[in-house]
């Protein structure tokens, strides 16, 4: 639920609460039935609002999913920015892995999220994503120290690592058992490829 702001009018609070109800209803249905199976009529029924109200807040289901993506990305960015002084690239990537595992949502919803990212026109270069920036700073530090290869851009290294871990979390072949072990092996292989 949206936090109460004493400076908002009752009408403004109502608008925020209605948008949140639509968002929550949408995500619940996306998780239960899958994005493509959900109709706007179902969302408004669960949220307890009229169909027109949905379109006052969102242009379509894709915009709700985009809001979800933005929330997941913002949470991930905060966790990545909180990483303090890793001593090695392996320690950095271990902490990145932990941050990614903490952001893991319902697999079906995350698959839809990734699908939306590929269906929608790119709003920014994937290598310049705000989530990559905190990792890139540390990678650049390790490159300057000479502990990892210097021939690859730091943002590309960070983006490829995140994409690889997400692949293990949401891909159709993602192992249900031993997932963490598989991710750890991926990280070890990735780090080995970064050594000078």
Average pLDDT for the chain: 83
Q: How confident is the model at residue 37, as a pLDDT?
A: 92
Q: How confident is the model at residue 194, as a pLDDT?
A: 94
Percent of the chain, pLDDT > 90? 42
- pLDDT tens digits, one per residue of 166-189: 777 766 655 566 777 888 899 999
Q: How confident is the model at residue 176, as a pLDDT?
A: 60
Domain that holds residue 179: 61-194
Tell if the pTM clears 0.75, that is, is over it. Answer: no
129 and 39 within one domain? no
42 and 65 within one domain? no
- The whole-number average pLDDT for the span 66-82 is 84
Q: How confident is the model at residue 158, as a pLDDT?
A: 92
97 and 164 within one domain? yes
79 and 50 within one domain? no
Q: How confident is the model at residue 128, as a pLDDT?
A: 62
72 and 39 within one domain? no
75 and 153 within one domain? yes
80 and 160 within one domain? yes
Whether the pLDDT of residue 1 is over 50: the answer is: no
- pLDDT tens digits, one per residue of 7-20: 788 888 999 999 99
Residue 49 sits in a domain of what CATH number?
Answer: 1.10.10.60
Domain boundary residue among 25, 58, 91?
58
Between 51 and 111, residue with greater pLDDT: 51
44 and 86 within one domain? no
Q: How confident is the model at residue 173, as a pLDDT?
A: 57
80 and 39 within one domain? no
Tell me the CA distances in angstroms from 68 to 53, 64, 98, 107, one per residue in order: 19, 6, 20, 13
- The whole-number average pLDDT for the span 60-77 is 85
Whether the pLDDT of residue 29 is over 50: the answer is: yes
Residue 157 sits in a domain of what CATH number?
Answer: 1.10.357
Whether the pLDDT of residue 58 is over 60: the answer is: yes
């Amino acid at each position: 639920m949206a936090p109460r702001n004493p400076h908002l009018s009752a009408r403004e609070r109502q608008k925020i609460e209605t948008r949140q109800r639509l968002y929550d209803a949408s995500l619940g249905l996306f998780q239960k039935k899958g994005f493509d199976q959900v109709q706007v009529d179902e969302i408004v029924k669960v949220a307890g609002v009229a169909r027109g109200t949905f379109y006052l807040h969102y242009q379509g289901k894709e915009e709700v999913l985009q809001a979800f993506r933005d929330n997941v990305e913002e949470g991930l960015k905060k966790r990545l920015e909180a990483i303090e002084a890793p001593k090695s690239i392996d320690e950095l990537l271990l902490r990145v892995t932990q941050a990614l595992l903490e952001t893991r949502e319902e697999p079906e919803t995350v698959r839809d999220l990734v699908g939306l990212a590929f269906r929608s026109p790119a709003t920014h270069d994937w290598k310049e994503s705000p989530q990559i920036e905190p990792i890139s700073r540390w990678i650049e530090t390790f490159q300057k120290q000479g502990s990892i290869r210097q021939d690859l851009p730091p943002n590309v290294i960070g983006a490829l690592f995140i994409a690889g871990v997400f692949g293990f979390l949401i891909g159709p072949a993602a192992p249900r058992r031993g997932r963490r072990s598989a991710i750890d092996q991926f990280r070890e292989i990735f780090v080995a490829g970064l050594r000078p």
